[in-house]
C-alpha cells in the first residue's frame, strides 16, 4: 500500500492517518502502522520518535486538509443559509465518522496535550467560522435578529458530529442524513 508514495516518512504518515481514523490512537500499534506503510522498524524510529510523534504529525495533516475542505464550502458562493446547508449536506462517508471528532473519544489523545491541542484548535476554528457565516446571514436578514451565532454554530457542528454517532450505532448512513435534514429544516423554518 502507498507504493505510489516515494517518501518513506510520507507513507508512514498516511498509514497513521488512516489507522487513527479507523481505530483511534489506543486502537493502533506501531507494528500495524509499519505493516500498512510497508516500512521497517528501523526506518520508522529514524524518521519519528515513536507512536505519539507519528500521531501528532498525522493529526496536523488531517486538520489542515479539513480546514481547506470546510473553507471551500463556507467561503464559497451563495447566501449564508446556502453555505451552511452545503456544509451540513457535504458529501461524507457517515459510517467512517469524522477523522478529527473521533479523537475526542480517545483516552490516549485526550490525555496528551500535544495530541489534543490540534483537535481543540480544529473545532475552535470550525465553530468560529460557522458563527461568522451565521452572523452574516443574520445581518443580511436571512435569520431572525435574535438568533445567537455562537450557539447556533455549536449546534450545527454538534449535529454533524452526533450524526456520525447515530449512523455508526445503526450501522446505517441514513441516520446521519436524518439528523442533518432535521437541522436544515429548523434553520429554514427560522429563516422564513
Partner DNA sequence: GTCTATAATCTGATAGAC
Partner DNA sequence: GTCTATCAGATTATAGAC
Residue 43 in the binding site for DNA (CB under 7 A): yes
Please state, in angstroms and rounded to a whole number, the distance separating the CA atoms of residues 149 and 138.
8
Closest to 188 measured CA to CA, from 108, 84, 107, 91: 84
Residues near a second copy (CB under 8 A), total:
58
Residue 29 in the binding site for DNA (CB under 7 A): yes
Closest to 167 measured CA to CA, from 96, 76, 85: 96
**Residue 10, C-beta contacts closer than 8 angstroms, at least 6 positions apart:** 2
Residue 125 in the binding site for a second copy (CB under 8 A): no
Residue 178's binding partner among a second copy, DNA, none (Cβ under 5 to 8 angstroms by kind) is a second copy
Nearer to a second copy, 10 or 162 (CB): 162
C-beta separation of 31 from 16 below 8 A: no
Residue 120 in the binding site for a second copy (CB under 8 A): yes
Gyration radius (Cα) of the chain, Å: 19
Please state, in angstroms and rounded to a whole number, the distance separating the CA atoms of residues 172 and 49.
39
Q: Between residue 157 and residue 176, which ones bind a second copy under the rule CB under 8 A?
A: 157-166, 168-171, 175
Q: Which residues bind DNA (CB under 7 A)?
A: 8, 29-32, 39-43, 45-47, 49-52
Q: Which residues bind a second copy (CB under 8 A)?
A: 22-24, 26-27, 97, 101-102, 104-108, 110, 116, 119-120, 122-124, 127, 144, 146-148, 150-166, 168-171, 175, 178-183, 185-187, 189-190
Amino acid at each position: 500500500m502507498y507504493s505510489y508514495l516515494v517518501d518513506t516518512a510520507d507513507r508512514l504518515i498516511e498509514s497513521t492517518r488512516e489507522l487513527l481514523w479507523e481505530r483511534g490512537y489506543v486502537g493502533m500499534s506501531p507494528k500495524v502502522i509499519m505493516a500498512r506503510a510497508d516500512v521497517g522498524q528501523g526506518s520508522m524510529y529514524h524518521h519519528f520518535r515513536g507512536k505519539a510523534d507519528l500521531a501528532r504529525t498525522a493529526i496536523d495533516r488531517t486538520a489542515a486538509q479539513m480546514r481547506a475542505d470546510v473553507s471551500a464550502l463556507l467561503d464559497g458562493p451563495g447566501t449564508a443559509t446556502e453555505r451552511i446547508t452545503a456544509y451540513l449536506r457535504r458529501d461524507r462517508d457517515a459510517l467512517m465518522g469524522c477523522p478529527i471528532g473521533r479523537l475526542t473519544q480517545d483516552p490516549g489523545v485526550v490525555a496528551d496535550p500535544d495530541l489534543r491541542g490540534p483537535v481543540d484548535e480544529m473545532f475552535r476554528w470550525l465553530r468560529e467560522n460557522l458563527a461568522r457565516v451565521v452572523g452574516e446571514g443574520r445581518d443580511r436578514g436571512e435569520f431572525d435578529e435574535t438568533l445567537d451565532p455562537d450557539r447556533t454554530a455549536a449546534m450545527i457542528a454538534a449535529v454533524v458530529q452526533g450524526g456520525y454517532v447515530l449512523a455508526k450505532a445503526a450501522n446505517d448512513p441514513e441516520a446521519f442524513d436524518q439528523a442533518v435534514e432535521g437541522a436544515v429544516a429548523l434553520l429554514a423554518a427560522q429563516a422564513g
